[in-house]
Amino acid sequence: MSSRSKQTILLVGATGKTGSSIVRALAKQSEKFYVKALVRAASLEKPIVQELKSLGVGFISGDIVEDSQATLENHLKDVDTVIITTVPFQPNQQDKLILAAKNANVKRVVPSDFGPSAPPGAMKYQDSKVVTQEFIKQHNIPYTFIQVGTWANLMFPAPHSAKDSPQIVFYGSGDVKTAYTGLERVGEFVARIISDERTLNKTVQTYDGEATLSEVWAIASKVSGENFDDYTRLSAQEVKAKIGESPLSTTIYEYVRTLFISGDNTVENAVALGALDSRVLYPDYVPLRLEDCAREFYSRFDEVKAY
């Protein structure tokens, strides 16, 4: 943090799911953070922008792909921490902003990750995020990489009334443990992590817990009162067969394999790969209970559904 009493944050992606979770949490701690959001011009009219403005968030019109590095550098004057929550499908999407942050002497960059723990080669999408992480390290830019496992609400089956939801598939044997964080808790973790010198130049694994899909679907049935036995089941072999069918299918099913089949996404594996364990860092953190998350999911499905 700078000598100023508040940390100034520039967040890219505030209109999105991860970004809005983070902005809401940081804005709640206005004594610690001043938050500016860089948002594409066409998105400045989105309702979420009005909501975040009312929380004291400042807005800048900008685009990390279209704007020049010099323009981005200009937005970063006096910024302590940059947090990026775009979906980095395009390679190098974040590079210009990262170099601008270096030139502007930003004290910490948090690139878009916020995904599961996976070893190299398990997920092409994760590997491409690692390329960005290596780019940051090569340029000696102070960083923190944050992994959150899967969002808790992504594991629940959609209610039968939401026939169009993609969340109607049970993957694998159902007995593979996977780490999860409530999407609404991601911001709370980020507020702690970016205020913490111990996390500088480290990867942090956040989690509310670990559970198998069978455990999650049992809670889902209990809370919703619905029986999900009629939903599609894809075996490990069927998931594997879908990898390589198309670039989109590869991204989706490599993700599914990491979460529910290979057992990559555990806290133990994340720590073995070098991540700091959020529960060791923040022993006072009160984890979200899956039952509570399920209650929220089924009572306000249209608002809290992931997709």
Ligand X SMILES: NC(=O)c1ccc[n+]([C@@H]2O[C@H](COP(=O)([O-])OP(=O)(O)OC[C@H]3O[C@@H](n4cnc5c(N)ncnc54)[C@H](OP(=O)(O)O)[C@@H]3O)[C@@H](O)[C@H]2O)c1
Residues engaged in binding ligand X (CB under 6 A): 12-19, 40, 43, 63-65, 85-88, 112-115, 148, 150-151, 154
One-letter amino acid of 200: L
CB closer to ligand X, 115 vs 159: 115
Rounded to a whole number of angstroms, the minimum distance from the CB of residue 12 to ligand X is 5
Given the complex with ligand X, which of 1 and 168 has the nearer CB atom? 168
Of residues 1 and 165, the one with the C-beta less far from ligand X: 165
CB of 25 to ligand X, least distance (A): 14
Least separation, in Å, of the C-beta of 13 and ligand X?
Answer: 4
Q: What is the nearest approach in angstroms of ligand X to the Cβ of residue 242?
A: 19
3-state helix/strand/coil string of the chain: CCCCCCEEEEEECCCCHHHHHHHHHHHHCCCCEEEEEEECHHHCCCHHHHHHHHCCCEEEECCCCCCCHHHHHHHCCCCCEEEECCCCCCCCCCHHHHHHHHHCCCCEEECCCCCCCCCCCCCHHHHHHHHHHHHHHHCCCCEEEEECCEEHHHCCCCCCCCCCCCCCEEECCCCCCEEEECHHHHHHHHHHHCCCHHHCCEEEECCCEEECHHHHHHHHHHHHCCCCCCCEEECHHHHHHHCCCCHHHHHHHHHHHHHHHCCCCCHHHHHHCCCEEHHHHCCCCCCCCHHHHHHHHHHCHHHHCCC
Smallest distance, ligand X to C-beta of residue 90, A: 9
Q: Which is nearer to ligand X, 111 or 159 (CB)?
A: 111
**Least Cβ distance, residue 92 to ligand X (angstroms):** 12
Please state the closest distance from residue 263 (CB atom) to ligand X, in A.
16
Shorter beta-carbon distance to ligand X: residue 1 or 273: 273
Closest residue to ligand X using C-beta atoms: 16
Nearer to ligand X (CB atom), residue 1 or residue 306: 306
Looking at the Cβ atoms of 88 and 159, the one nearer to ligand X is 88
Cα–Cα dist 70/172, whole Å: 48
